[in-house]
Structure 1
């Protein structure tokens, strides 16, 4: 990988971490980042849109993330974020070795479909050794195995008016007096149909561990780590992200991260 690409990846990761860190520090001087109508926050959001549009033009829709050799896997994939959902539904599925699990695709589709874990494993398999880049500043090379998301979407028949996939997860990342807040993320259809975007059920030639997102974790390989949602159960095709969460397209974007998260 060229020094220019490496520096670009580091800059983007650092920028996302900085923005999110300011929003979540709790310091009074940065309270404006939590105010959705604040002109400074709006300016930052417009910068995110510009970054997204610029990267699409510079990189291209089908450009692949770098893949590595097996000899470059030197450690296990570091678990981070939530590592053990505690909702009754997830705990039941885990106790049953995820045999009752279903992945549902719904929304702006010709037909709602769902797949068991066995059915996903029987679809054409794809493995790739890629580098996971986290906004916390660490990276890890790992081998991911799964089936292409695009192929699963085609079985549902994505309608022409759909623009985004919203990814709903079992991950109760935050508990409040009003109840659990569940992790969700989203992508445009370009990333959803990218040839390296897979529904991963295997990690380093083993069954995907719970700590890393079992039974299914999405891999969008040209994006930062928070765009790789774990514990995935539903994919919803939509034309607008505003009805979900705080309307920014994901749990962390709702809290100040960049939505696109591309690298």
Structure 2
């Protein structure tokens, strides 16, 4: 279990960040309806989010750890939320075969594209961590996650100098638009991606990751809020920016008004 100061700092940042970010979140329908995407108040809140991002990087460093917990502190099951069972044909086909045919594709601004099966990922050195999942909806759950460190895969692929972000493409559909099916996506910067606690989890509480919690793979970014931890990962892409990807804000919920940083 990590020390008290780390926990207190995390709680302070989570509380302070929630107080500011909840004002700009798309999930707060009443408030969000009053603010258009070009509203001056929204711009001020976005600027504050960038200030929080820079301040946390400066004050706490790139590898400050989120608090970890003892096994005895796992007192309930990990709560499923958001998408809990993608119904796209390519996903359900994989699910019927227990994801034996699943392959994680890693591409974009890399020296070598990767295509890895679940067995290959599971045979790599694993990391397990018991951490608290903080949802922007206001609930938290302590759970044990097991997976491979994302930094290990980035090193294997070789990240090109112009890459700045990791983009997660997911299987779960968020609805249809005139351009076609809109899939969940999320981005994190390379500092978060290389953090020692950032893993691609295939295990939850010493069991195989359930579909309801994001099987076959979900990312755990332990110093950020839950919506940053993309589930049902289809592929990973290294990119230099995200202004021209979907809504241009770095993630599905960010395109609805949520903060991109979402650090706790």
Tell me the distance in 2 between the aligned counterparts of 1:155 and 1:178: 34
Tell me the distance in 1 between the aligned counterparts of 2:139 and 2:76: 13
Offset from partner CA, 1:47-104 (integer Å, 9 cap, x none): 2211111111111101111000000000000000010111100011001110111111
Tell me the distance in 2 between the aligned counterparts of 1:146 and 1:24: 35
The corresponding residue for 2:133 is 132
Aligned counterpart for 1:7 among listed residues 12, 15, 36: 12
The TM-score, its normalising length taken from structure 1, stands at 0.93
Tell me the distance in 1 between the aligned counterparts of 2:118 and 2:29: 36
- Of residues 55-64 and 207-216 in structure 1, the stretch that sits farther from structure 2 once superposed is 55-64
Offset from partner CA, 1:186-239 (integer Å, 9 cap, x none): 000000000000000000000000000000000001100001000011111111
> What's the CA shift for 1:244?
1.0
Offset from partner CA, 1:156-208 (integer Å, 9 cap, x none): 10001110001110011234465321110000000000000000000000000
> What's the CA shift for 1:14?
3.9
> What's the CA shift for 1:16?
2.7
Tell me the distance in 2 between the aligned counterparts of 1:18 and 1:41: 9
Give the secondary structure class of the aligned counterpart of 1:173: strand
Tell me the distance in 1 between the aligned counterparts of 2:21 and 2:35: 17
Does 1:196 pair with 2:201? no
5 Å matches for 1:100-249? Answer: 100-176=101-177, 179-249=180-250
Tell me the distance in 2 between the aligned counterparts of 1:167 and 1:254: 15
The corresponding residue for 1:84 is 85
Does 1:17 pair with 2:22? yes
For the 8 Å contact 1:196–1:220, the answer to whether it is kept is yes
Give the secondary structure class of the aligned counterpart of 2:173: coil
Stretches of structure 2 that go unaligned for 5 or more consecutive residues are none
Give the secondary structure class of the aligned counterpart of 1:233: strand
CA 1:116–1:5: 2 relative to 1, 3 Å? closer
Give the secondary structure class of the aligned counterpart of 1:130: strand
Tell me the distance in 1 between the aligned counterparts of 2:149 and 2:12: 29
CA 1:127–1:4: 2 relative to 1, 3 Å? closer
Q: Size of the alignment, in residue pairs?
A: 259
CA 1:21–1:249: 2 relative to 1, 3 Å? closer
RMSD of aligned residue pairs (Cα, Å): 1.7
> What's the CA shift for 1:45?
1.8
Superposition misfits of 4+ residues, deviation over 6 angstroms: none
For the 8 Å contact 2:133–2:141, the answer to whether it is kept is yes
CA 1:197–1:4: 2 relative to 1, 3 Å? closer
> What's the CA shift for 1:12?
1.6
Give the secondary structure class of the aligned counterpart of 2:15: helix
Does 1:254 pair with 2:249? no
